[in-house]
Amino acid sequence: EMENVFLNLSKRVTEHISNQEQDKKKLSELLKEKELLANKLKDIASTDDLTNIRNRRALLEIMNILIEEAENSSKSFVICYFDVDGLKKTNDSLGHKTGDSLLKYVAEKVKKNLRESDIFGRMGGDEFLIIFPDSDMEQAQKIVNRIKDNLNTDKPKELENIIVKISCGYSTFKPSENITADDLLVEADKAMYRNKNKDAE
């Protein structure tokens, strides 16, 4: 009888340990799922719905991090603020679907011509931003000129009759200057409109 009691007790202990291991496994799986969901939500919060590139919020966060790093390392960086010329005209004459195709097309073209270290996103509407970390103006402009040269090659059918153009403005962050991300954006935005008006003359 003692042997039976011992066997039953041993069986119950084994079952208890097995249940505990299953619970641990379930808990581990739930934590993994929670982590994946949190990462997915973070990605959604920092990604532009239409173009699947970074959104304004993510770009501003990155700029603030770069400013902090630049102040500690004495490295400068350049931003290029640009908009897609004629988007309103495209929306009005060919419809918003074509306008959306134009924005997605430009986003893809830009991505293909950037370096791995460059950071790119959509600020909203027809406006985009490229951040060139640890770069000077000459390097940034060289890359953007390459993008401009490739904008009208291999266009999708719905954009065949549209001449794709972008207007750009630049600004440089130098650690010695006490400026913020907003200051840089304002400077680049003003430069972009100056260039746009110059091209229109």
**CB atoms < 10 A from the CB of 162, how many?**
18
Digit-coded pLDDT (tens) for 73-102: 778 899 999 999 999 999 999 999 999 999
Residue 169, SS3 per DSSP: strand
pLDDT value at position 2? Answer: 59
In the chain the first and final C-alpha atoms are separated, in Å, by 104
pLDDT value at position 124? Answer: 94
Residue 7, SS3 per DSSP: helix
Digit-coded pLDDT (tens) for 137-177: 999 999 999 999 999 999 999 998 999 999 999 999 988 77
Confidence check: pLDDT of 68 > 90? no
Mean pLDDT to the nearest integer, 108-126: 95
pLDDT value at position 4? Answer: 64
pLDDT value at position 45? Answer: 72
Query: How far is Cα of residue 57 from the mean position of the Cα atoms in its chain?
Result: 9
* Rounded alpha-carbon distances, angstroms, from residue 38 to 24, 55, 89: 21, 18, 40
Confidence check: pLDDT of 39 > 60? no
More confident residue, 27 or 57: 57
